[in-house]
Structure 1
Amino acid sequence: MASPGATDASPARAAGSPPARAARTGLVLTLLLVVLAFALPALLDWQTWSRASRSAHPWASPPLHGFWDPKLVGPGTAPALLVGLLGLTWLPRHAAVASWGRLLLTSYAVALAWMLALAFVDGSEGISRVLDHSSEYLPSAREVDDVPQMLRTYADRIPYSHPDNWPTQAAGHPPLALLFFVGLVRVGLGGSFAAGLVVTAVGATTVVSVLALLRTLDAEVLARRAAPFLVLSPAAVFMAVSADAIFTAVTAAGLALLARAAVERERRWIGWAVGAGLVLGCSVLLSYGMALMGLVSLAVLVAARSWRPLPVAVVAALVPVLAMAAAGFAWWEAYPVLTERYWDGIAADRPAWYWMWGNLAALAVSAGPLVGAGLAHAGARARLLRGDALGVGARAVAVLVLGAVLAIVVADVSRMSKSEVERIWLPFMPWLTIAVALLPDAWRRWGLALQVAWALVVQHLLYTSW
């Protein structure tokens, strides 16, 4: 077996090679996509939002679900600059030489610090304001006093026509997301600030799961290269203020367990596969969109070259889904009801001709422009997959990235993701971000600075609603 990443990037080191040209093209196109998505609606007066949304926020900034609110400094500006500078000057070197356990620990700590510092640019409200909004889970969670009854009537309360219909987030997701916050309320963490800290702390575990998965697939060298970009991702701007950070962390953990099941040689693989299935089954009960992570799950098995865990994981994944159905909520019955509500609401006022590519611009804002360069570079090298010329670790990364790209394409063309995608794309972003590990060394050195600067600019220019 080849050493992790042993043949990595050598074809791409020449500045004029096709992968290097593709990386430059990918970066330019990503930046152009973002500029056009922001500029064209304003310059040409396109009606990309519902009229009610535009009236409420005249400075709304499609393709993001937020609005322009420039600020020079905030309480978290200095800490964010400090964490960013630490990450730029120390983290890449530390990631390359630290013991694996120490790398996981420091990656979690710095990711958590980065998320909190960015959120605190807006003061303590940067953590609390989103979760306490009337459309979010917490207000609904505080009103739940009978969980069995809530589950039995959950789908009935999705339509707008119901006199006691759920607010946007509870209606738009299966009940496990709401139950998470019900649990926080029951243990005394139902305040918006406390709940926000919990969400952020859980969300920061994502980087640990992704790194663990890559190492499991013989991609430790590339995991170490990707670590600074996963830790200091611009997605942190939205992770710290969104319940989707929980969905991101849960799915990443499930995929890491699945990878372990795929490579385990002894009978213990069954336990890992059961654990993976249970966790991934729960992820589908957190968000309907997590069903698309099945494509990334298949990519994990392809990268591991083992289909052995698949039937066990699938059966295990059905356990929480069927248990929830027995309790009164059938996923397959509720989703069509949600679809009707979606198209009865403001989705009908959001033109698909804009959001089909505006979605991708919002993803680029959240993931950072270097990810566009990484994806283009990986695509240019994809032909090497046929002969395994990429090496074991690089092949695994490329396959995972491809799975995430396919999932995003399906979500985009489904038209069920119009707007708000800087939030709903979060579970897919780590699997796109790892593409930067395939970039040449020079690209990664200045690219990390670009990602950090991008996150700071987004946080200071925009009022982010998630």
Structure 2
Amino acid sequence: MIHSPSSPAPSRGPRRDRYAAGAAVLLVAAAVLVGRRIEETSHTLFVDWPPLLASWGPHAGPGTPAAVLVAVAVVAYGPSLAARLPWRALLPLAWGAATAWILSLALVDGWHRGVAVRLTTRYEYLQVVDRFHDIPAALRGFTGHILLDSPDPWPAHVVGHPPAATLTFVLLDRIGLRGGGWAGMWCVVAGATACVAVLVTVRALAGEALARRAAPFLVLAPAAVWMGTSADAWFAAVAAWAVALLALAVTGRSPGWAGASGLLFGLTCYLSYGLTLVAAIAAAVLVLGRSGIRERPVLLPALAAGLAVVPAAFTVAGFDWWEGYRLLVTRYHQGAGGIRPYGYWVWANPACAVLVTGLATAAGLRRTAAVLLAHRDAWSVRARGSSGRGPGRTRGASRPGPGRARGATTRLAFLVSAALLALLAADLSGMSKAETERIWLPFAVWLLPACALLPRPRAWLVAQALLALLLNHLLRTGW
């Protein structure tokens, strides 16, 4: 039987999908049980409900009916609407539905706790807005307040990021959008656009059929629990649009997309040090779009020119990115997170990723691996045939290039695998120990398209929605 590039894998796959989901459940269960034991005995994890920064507290709120309604609507109508709506109508609908899902989950905790005060705690960016009344002076002196023993050290989230993160909320304040409510809604509405950016990328690189299949999963992601009023949702959106514009550049005609992509990549690196790892996803886009690069050599210079803008501006303003990162590592090991045991978090962080992306993504990643293995085997057979070493030899046949052998599903699998590689690099670095349910949002959104490879999407969408609703109603999350 020949399968369409956009169709799911053969029917024997569903049982293996369930095995993958079951393995993910076991990983989370182990992280919970072992983490509780560690926290009860040595108190070194600094989270109340490991592996999440959360506490047990069953509750409901004004967002509960809306969240249930959004979940039911996406499960019931999402796959069919995604399949038949015009593409230009699908994108704003996906954005609106994702915004509704994120906001309704945040409002389960009520407007005050769920939105208005999230970014105003002593760890957050809004605490230092007044210290940026003179922005050039604040940038020049930024690194002088990183270490714990420095005068008037920055709060944890300010110090943990380059100054573009804080400047986001300073500029919101300057234009009159002051306070936690406006800051929280900015993160919700802007963060929801990451869904659209990923859809644009998947369509450009792997085809519209797979993008349409992925759309309901990107909307109804459990990640929405932490995208509500978390600055990392804003970071995820900027990074996602940087990748999306690059995908448009290598598959389109205008080098302007490449310059805009470079500009956003530069901004991404000045929003979060760890988002330099988005380079792995960008590299995957360049590999998948190499034919477009060959046809339009100006794309790479345009990308580089755009990439230089933000770093140059901050350097001229007096902020040294490398010095900031060096001092941050020092502060991290002064006690700002460094005490947390690497031996637990190196495998418990992936358990957090399961809770962020859901069991459907675990099954989708299994299919991603299967697609790549099948592609490798097909490449080997064709290579042997074309070289005369195997039964597939054809007179006059030439060795197939990667572009010919790679179908739509393989291209999607390659993109998803690049995001998984970036996430694993962040994990092994030891600079992400705990709280990865929000820190890894910029990588997690790129794992969700793997769900496009799954058959019976409604059953998996139910699993995604139930996970998000249970997490949000049983736990009081820290973000």
Residues 8, 390 of structure 1: 8 Å contact kept: no
Measured in 1, the distance between the counterparts of 2:478 and 2:117 equals 9
Shift of 1:116: 0.7
Q: In terms of mean alpha carbon deviation, does 361-370 or 297-306 score higher?
A: 297-306
Check 1:36–1:449 CA distance in 2 against 1; reply closer, same or farther (3 A cut). same
- Find the counterpart in structure 2 of residue 401 from structure 1: 416
Alignment CA distance shift 1:48-1:189 (3 Å)? farther
Tell me how far 1:9 sits from its aligned partner. 4.0
Partner of 1:206 in structure 2?
194
Change (3 A) 1:44 1:163: closer
Deviations 1:65-105 (A, max 9, x none): 1211111x211111100111111111111000000011001
Q: Which amino acid aligns with 1:138?
A: L
CA distance in 2, matches of 1:193, 1:426: 21
| Residue identity in the other structure for 1:426 | L
User: Once the two structures are superposed, what CA deviation does each residue of 1:114-133 show, in whole Å capped at 9, x if it has no partner?
Assistant: 01110000100201232111
Matched residue, 1:8? 6
Q: Is the 8 A contact 1:48 1:62 kept in 2?
A: no
Match 2:342 to one of 352, 355, 369: 352
- The residue number in structure 1 matching 2:467 is 454
- Secondary structure class of the residue paired with 2:476: strand
Is 1:291 aligned to 2:276, yes or no? yes
The structural deviation recorded for 1:7 is 2.4
Q: Quote the offset at 1:142 in angstroms.
A: 3.5
**SS of alignment partner, residue 234 of structure 1:** coil
Per-residue Cα deviation, 1:363-397 (whole angstroms, up to 9, x for no partner): 11111121111111211221233447986321221
Answer whether contact 2:38 2:44 (CA < 8 A) is retained: no
| Aligned partner letter, 1:415 | G
The aligned counterpart of 1:34 is 28
Provide the secondary structure at the position in 1 that maps to 2:333: helix
Residues 293 and 407, structure 1, Cα contact 8 Å, conserved in 2:
yes
Q: How many angstroms apart in 1 are the aligned matches of 2:39 and 2:101?
A: 36
CA contact (8 A) 2:251 2:289 kept: yes
1:347 shift after superposition: 2.3
Give distance in 2, aligned partners of 1:415 and 1:380.
29
1:342 and 1:44, CA in 2 relative to 1: closer, same or farther beyond 3 A? closer
Residue deviations 1:280-335 (CA, integer Å, cap 9, x gap): 11010000011000000001112223455344313421221121011011111211
Q: Which segment drifts farther, 280-289 or 382-391?
A: 382-391
Aligned to 1:97: 84
Residues 206 and 248, structure 1, Cα contact 8 Å, conserved in 2: yes
Aligned partner letter, 1:117? S
Partners in 2 of 1:48 and 1:361 — Cα distance? 21
TM-score normalised per structure 2: 0.89
C-alpha displacement of 1:24: 2.5
What root-mean-square deviation, in Å, do the aligned CA atoms of Structure 1 and Structure 2 show?
A: 1.8
DSSP-derived class of the 1:463 partner: strand
Gaps of 5+ in 2: 380-401
How far, CA to CA, are the matches of 2:210 and 2:463 in structure 1? 20
Structure 2 CA distance for aligned equivalents of residues 380 and 36 of structure 1: 26
1:261 alignment partner in structure 2: 249
Counterpart AA for 1:341: R
Q: 1:259–1:304: 8 Å Cα contact kept in structure 2?
A: yes
Q: Is the 8 A contact 1:137 1:178 kept in 2?
A: yes
Q: Which residue of 2 aligns with 1:57?
A: none
* Aligned positions of 1:166-185 closer than 5 A: 166-185=154-173
Structure 2 counterpart of 1:194? 182
CA distance in 2, matches of 1:303, 1:374: 20
Cα deviation 1:202-250 (Å, max 9, x = unaligned): 0111111111111222421010000000001010010012000111100
Q: Which amino acid aligns with 1:277?
A: G
Does the CA-based 8 Å contact 1:41-1:47 persist in structure 2? Answer: no
- Does 146-155 or 42-51 show the bigger shift? 42-51
Contact preservation (8 Å) 1:7, 1:391 = no
Matches of residues 87-166 of structure 1 in structure 2 within 5 Å?
87-124=74-111, 125-166=113-154
Distance 1:390 1:79 in 2: 45
Task: Tell me if structure 1 keeps the 8 A contact 2:35–2:51.
Answer: no
Whichever of the two has the greater Rg, that structure is 2
SS of 2:58's equivalent? coil
- C-alpha separation between the residues in 1 aligned to 2:121 and 2:11? 51
Kindly state the Cα deviation for residue 191 of structure 1 after the two structures are TM-superposed. Answer: 1.2
Report whether the alignment pairs 1:341 with 2:339: no
Q: For residues 203 and 146 of structure 1, what CA distance do their matches in structure 2 show? A: 28
Distance in 2 of aligned mates of 1:218 and 1:110: 23
For residue 418 of structure 1, report the CA deviation from its aligned partner.
0.4
1:259 maps to a residue whose letter is: A
Counterpart code for 1:360 = P
1:261 and 1:272 in contact (8 A); partners too: yes
Identity of aligned residues (%): 41
Which position in structure 1 is the counterpart of 2:55? 67
